[in-house]
Amino acid sequence: MMRQPPENVELFLNRVNFTYVDGDELVEKVKNYFQILIDQGILETEVDQKLLDMFKL
């Protein structure tokens, strides 16, 4: 984003939706995010419950 013209950054910020989530909803989002990275070959690991529990705080 740093190399984008200000107009593009402003357009992005006007469209993006930042919603605070926590608890089980956050854990599900994190789990899905890691699964995408694994499916794309970016991460070569397994997501275990110990990792997911860190996001339940």
| pLDDT tens profile 31-49 | 999 999 999 999 999 999 9
Distant-in-sequence contacts of 14-23, Cβ < 8 A, 24+ apart: 23/56
Please answer whether residues 18 and 29 qualify as being in contact, where contact means their C-beta atoms are separated by less than 8 angstroms.
no
Please answer whether residues 3 and 16 qualify as being in contact, where contact means their C-beta atoms are separated by less than 8 angstroms.
no
The model's pLDDT over 5-34, given as tens digits with 9 standing for 90+, comes to: 999 999 998 999 888 999 999 999 999 999
d(CA 29, CA 20): 12
Please answer whether residues 45 and 38 qualify as being in contact, where contact means their C-beta atoms are separated by less than 8 angstroms.
yes
Q: In this model, does residue 57 exceed pLDDT 80? A: no
d(CA 27, CA 21): 9
Q: Domain segments of the chain: what residues?
A: 20-56
Q: In this model, does residue 2 exceed pLDDT 80? A: no
